[in-house]
Chain A
Amino acid sequence: MNIALGAVLIFILLIPPLAFYITYNFGREAKPGPKFSLLETILASAVLSLFVHAIALMFIQKEIRFDVLIKLAGGELKDISATVPNKEFKHLVLQFALYNLIIVILFIALGRFARWFSMHYGWDDGRSEMFRLHSRWYYFFNGLESNIDHFDLLYIDAVMDTKDGTMIYSGFLVEYICEGETLDRILIKDAVRREFKTPKDGTTVLQNLPGQPMSIPGHLFSIPYKNCINLNLSFIVLEDEIGDIEQMPVQGAIEEIPLDAADLIG
């Protein structure tokens, strides 16, 4: 029990660096944390905690009862009542709790500020591992890997290994699901599929030429990444004004509108 009390006290003193690390990295699409063992985590936190508490002590003018703290941390509770009267002990516990509360809140705020600063000033661009806040896929899908600042839509070609052979699934990427650094699936709108290889004219010989796109009915199309051979992204810029785009048709008959390549190229 005495040893447990000491361990709890030490753990409380180790919280500030951990609070900073967790709040700095906490967010959507967060990169997975480093794979440290429990011992490595405690040691790293202990070193940083030493500096944190040393700086904090410089600002405390009142007397600090280190003798009581050391007794509690060491589990020496036999003569604690002789050293500290019960009333004073209560006061010391409250002061200790208040000190830790302030330090932890400060480090949570510092962690959030550091995260905001890193994102606001472009340090989170995926190039520096130290300032990287998101999974690698975040930078890939948001144009940061390609140095693209602005785009309107993300068009994706996913080459998939299916039972019917290799197929290309295309559409506008709207969402994706990651588990740590592993991409689980992508969700695309307005999906079409094409065959990866098509027969040469008049022969049965296949050539590396994609077939005609065929619409896949549905609202959202999910593609598991495990069956994916590769992904090709096109960051799309729409040149028309938003008012013009809003005048585009919501419904129509695809069969009645021939899609002639000559009409498409301006």
Chain B
Amino acid sequence: MATVKISDKGRALLSRSFAASRVVHAIAGDGEALTSRDGLTVTIDGKTIKVQSAAVTGKTVQLLTK
């Protein structure tokens, strides 16, 4: 059995099962927003969490450094 490299932040979100479930619903319901440069902001019980695609983040950094 192989484990995917998940960061401490990712592990923290996975441990908050309700929040993690809501984030999955948000991405599944609106995956296109995730691929935009602005990412996806999920509101859970009044608190927000911003989710972004690593690929898009990388491209943004490249654009800024050019």
Residues of A within 8 A of B (CB): 28-29, 137-138, 141-143, 146-155, 157, 168, 170-178, 189-192, 194, 210, 212-213, 215, 234-240, 242, 244-252, 254, 257, 259, 261, 263-266
Q: Mark B21-33, 1 if CB is under 8 A from A, else 0.
A: 1111111111101
**Is there an interface contact between B28 and A152, defined as CB atoms closer than 8 Å?**
no
Chain B CB within 10 Å, residue with most, of A191, A212, A266: A266
**Interface residue tally for chain B (C-beta within 8 Å):** 51
Task: Give the A-B contact count at a CB cut-off of 8 A.
Answer: 186
B63 in the interface (beta carbon within 8 A): no
Contact of B51 among A177, A178, A238 (CB under 8 A): A238
CA distance A178 to B3 in the complex (A): 11
**Is there an interface contact between A261 and B45, defined as CB atoms closer than 8 Å?**
no
Given the known inter-chain contacts A142-B4, A173-B4, A240-B50, please indicate yes or no for A234 contacting B12, CB distance below 8 A: no
The residue of chain A having its C-beta at the shortest distance from the C-beta of B24 within the complex is A190
**Is there an interface contact between B40 and A266, defined as CB atoms closer than 8 Å?**
yes
Provide the residues of chain B in CB contact with A265, threshold 8 Å.
30, 33, 38, 40-41
A-B contact pairs, 9 of them (CB 8 A): A143-B54, A151-B7, A174-B14, A234-B34, A238-B13, A248-B16, A249-B45, A257-B44, A264-B33
Distance in Å: Cβ of A52 to nearest Cβ of chain B: 33
Contact of B49 among A29, A138, A238, A259 (CB under 8 A): A238
Residues of B within 8 A of A (CB): 1-10, 12-31, 33-34, 38-45, 47-55, 57-58
Which secondary structure dominates where chain A touches chain B? mixed
Chain B CB within 10 Å, residue with most, of A153, A157, A263: A153
The residue of chain B having its C-beta at the shortest distance from the C-beta of A239 within the complex is B50
The residue of chain B having its C-beta at the shortest distance from the C-beta of A194 within the complex is B28
Distance in Å: Cβ of B60 to nearest Cβ of chain A: 10
CA distance A172 to B24 in the complex (A): 8
CA distance A57 to B31 in the complex (A): 64
**Is there an interface contact between A178 and B30, defined as CB atoms closer than 8 Å?**
no
The residue of chain A having its C-beta at the shortest distance from the C-beta of B52 within the complex is A237
Contact of A237 among B15, B24, B26, B53 (CB under 8 A): B53
CA distance A247 to B42 in the complex (A): 14
